[in-house]
A = this chain, B = another copy of it.
């Protein structure tokens, strides 16, 4: 193949990455769980996670995701073993693998605003902004605007914020 052909044709890796980005557009999600936990700062743990779902008969695309990201695990979805989940939750992997990928391959995505919020939250956690009450509340407010304005959340946001403001003292600081 000459130089012109090489320029005209995207490399196989690039094609694979755009394909994966489209797959993630359909089957992927970013979410930020907020869990009550006695060891968490101000009584809460904040867990950003990246997921991709697929029927177990089509495992290939999840394996493609694992190959591209070079990390993550595949397991049956809780309560629905016909669906497999590919998940990455380690913060280092989110920062080094997932966010750069989503940044680079998001131009056709209609989920951009959730990605941007996800990224802000991961970077805020990395900067330990949740170690102050104000930072924690700011992160939680932002998390509650994700994924259709937090409709799937168990707890009302005011309940969470009130609990933080009541000066909950964690066991470990």
Interface residues of A (CB under 8 A from B): 7-8, 10-11, 14-16, 18-27, 54, 57-61, 64, 105, 107-111, 148
Residues of B within 8 A of A108 (CB): 15-16, 19-20, 61, 64
- The A interface, classified by DSSP as helix, strand, loop or mixed, is helix
Q: Chain B's nearest CB lies how many Å from the CB of A37?
A: 31
* Interchain CA distance A57-B111 in the complex, whole Å: 9
Given contacts A18-B19, A19-B19, A21-B19, contact A110 B26 (CB under 8 A): no
Most B Cβ at <10 Å: residue of A11, A18, A64, A105: A18
Assembly CA distance A22 to B109 (angstroms):
12
Rounded to whole angstroms, the CA-CA distance of A25 and B24 in the bound complex is: 10
Q: Which residue of B lies closest to A12 (CB)?
A: B107
Query: Shortest distance in angstroms between A84's beta carbon and chain B's nearest beta carbon?
Result: 12
If A22-B25, A25-B26 are given as contacts, then 14 extra A-B residue pairs at C-beta distance below 8 Å, sorted by A number, are A7-B8, A8-B10, A8-B11, A10-B11, A10-B18, A14-B15, A19-B108, A20-B108, A22-B22, A22-B24, A25-B61, A26-B26, A57-B148, A59-B110
